[in-house]
Chain A
């Protein structure tokens, strides 16, 4: 399976808002790409188009979202079913796909283990902390073993300490599974820390203004966060973001 390619993609909402226009984008299989931009620039719109949750008004997306079933999606809010336990929430994608219950359960337990929540599998969402809920949400996205993981500002609502920890956990999962990631964020620091490529977006209409490769040691760790190279690249991305916003 190839990565992802967008050609001349545009989306105009029924309200008349032209959310994104002329988006050209190629992501190679197994890459980790960050979409960075100010809020309202069309990041979520673009992600929903890639997921097939909305249809573009113009342009092409390859492979076609309708044809693929290997997408995982993580929303900004954990978006869990409050009436189901952590395990129940993680089994959902498998149950919907008709996987037999015992197998679904076993795979969901494995997914919960990969995000460090084995002990909380029986807990209801309201009893979990914000960070734990987000972990459940990530486990749910990973349980189908997606080849393309789409994340829409997943850690924006979390405190910094939790966010850093989840950043590292996400990188570890990615090192292991090597799925393709499109990670939406409005944080320069987060984008440089996580991604191998940062796409800077400009607003009105949303489009990709810059494409910056990130040079970092593999695998990344906390030492990178305090390195001179990290600081320099954050500055470069930040400048590019300001240019895009001024344009």
Chain B
């Protein structure tokens, strides 16, 4: 190594509580900005005396969240279940269909346009139909969320399965690899980063799909998710409760994104450039 560059341990030494100064900055800077924003919001509401049914302050929202936790948490669980199930089905079917596409150009050419049609049709427009056709509310919500979440996994994985290194393909051919070996040992590993990138997009979309479908379904009872709580609070002009449900929706979205980012990092960190620390 050249003596001119700063040796690695020197930079790594500046760790506080196990995190590097860069990581701390990445956490603290947006955190501080968020706190400032909340404080400004609270101050505005307080000073102007804005009533809670127009705009509740963050403290009021937090209080509502705690007070109504028993009913809100049930709805959170419902929305989470639909989202998770839709994402799982989207990931499984997307991957499976992409593999089928990779095996047969004919099937890909025949089916891909329909996947695109499914993707570009606004879910709000077809959700009522699905809800009418499918008896079970839970299943109809799942289908709506799945339709929205499905495409990124399919298109990304299809792209990845076709992104194999030409020389590696030749190598596999030289050693008389079977179709199955080629898929399992070359095409699927090549597609993994693409699949995971698609999954990260799909995670957010599955939540949006679930929420939109709940809005359209508008049902109460045992299958009522967070969207229904927002609707209900809106009708009853319980604005703090509406905000509390909204906070839970956003929180869920962030949690899904972080979980999928972590999954991607764990699976790729050893070998993929996207997961490698760029400041090496």
**Bound-state Cα–Cα, A124 to B271, Å:** 6
Interface string of A66-102 (1 = CB under 8 A from B): 0001010101010101111000000011011100000
- Min Cβ gap A200→B in Å is 26
B167 with A96: CB separation less than 8 A: no
**Among A73, A82, A83, which residue has its beta carbon within 8 angstroms of that of B171?**
A73
Interface string of B89-101 (1 = CB under 8 A from A): 0000000000000
Check: A51 CB closer than 8 A to any chain B CB: yes
- Min Cβ gap B278→A in Å is 12
Check: B172 CB closer than 8 A to any chain A CB: yes
**Among B174, B189, B271, which residue has its beta carbon within 8 angstroms of that of A73?**
B174
Nearest A-chain residue to B270, judged by Cβ: A124
- Min Cβ gap B1→A in Å is 12
Identify which of A81, A83, A84, A95 gathers the most chain B CB atoms within 10 Å of its CB: A83
The 22 sampled A-B contact pairs (Cβ below 8 Å) are A48-B170, A52-B174, A53-B173, A73-B174, A75-B170, A79-B165, A79-B167, A81-B168, A81-B186, A81-B189, A83-B272, A84-B271, A92-B171, A92-B185, A93-B175, A95-B185, A96-B175, A96-B177, A96-B181, A97-B176, A124-B271, A126-B271
Chain B residues with Cβ under 8 A from A93's Cβ? 175
Interface residues in chain A, defined as those with a beta carbon under 8 Å from any beta carbon in chain B: 48, 51-53, 69, 71, 73, 75, 77, 79, 81-84, 92-93, 95-97, 124-126, 144
A92 with B175: CB separation less than 8 A: yes
Task: Please count the residue pairs between chain A and chain B whose beta carbons lie under 8 angstroms apart in the complex.
Answer: 51
A82 with B271: CB separation less than 8 A: yes
Known: A69-B176, A97-B175. 15 other contacts (CB 8 A): A73-B170, A73-B171, A73-B174, A79-B165, A79-B167, A79-B168, A81-B186, A82-B271, A82-B272, A83-B192, A83-B270, A96-B175, A96-B176, A125-B271, A144-B175
The A interface, classified by DSSP as helix, strand, loop or mixed, is loop
Interface string of B174-212 (1 = CB under 8 A from A): 111100010001100100100000000000000000000
Check: B273 CB closer than 8 A to any chain A CB: yes
Chain B residues with Cβ under 8 A from A144's Cβ? 175
Nearest A-chain residue to B186, judged by Cβ: A81
Check: B276 CB closer than 8 A to any chain A CB: yes
Chain B residues with Cβ under 8 A from A48's Cβ? 170
**Bound-state Cα–Cα, A124 to B276, Å:** 12
B189 with A53: CB separation less than 8 A: no
Interface string of B138-180 (1 = CB under 8 A from A): 0000000000000000000000000001011011111111000
- Min Cβ gap A43→B in Å is 16
**Bound-state Cα–Cα, A71 to B165, Å:** 20
Identify which of B176, B192, B271 gathers the most chain A CB atoms within 10 Å of its CB: B271
- Min Cβ gap A91→B in Å is 11
Chain A residues with Cβ under 8 A from B181's Cβ? 96
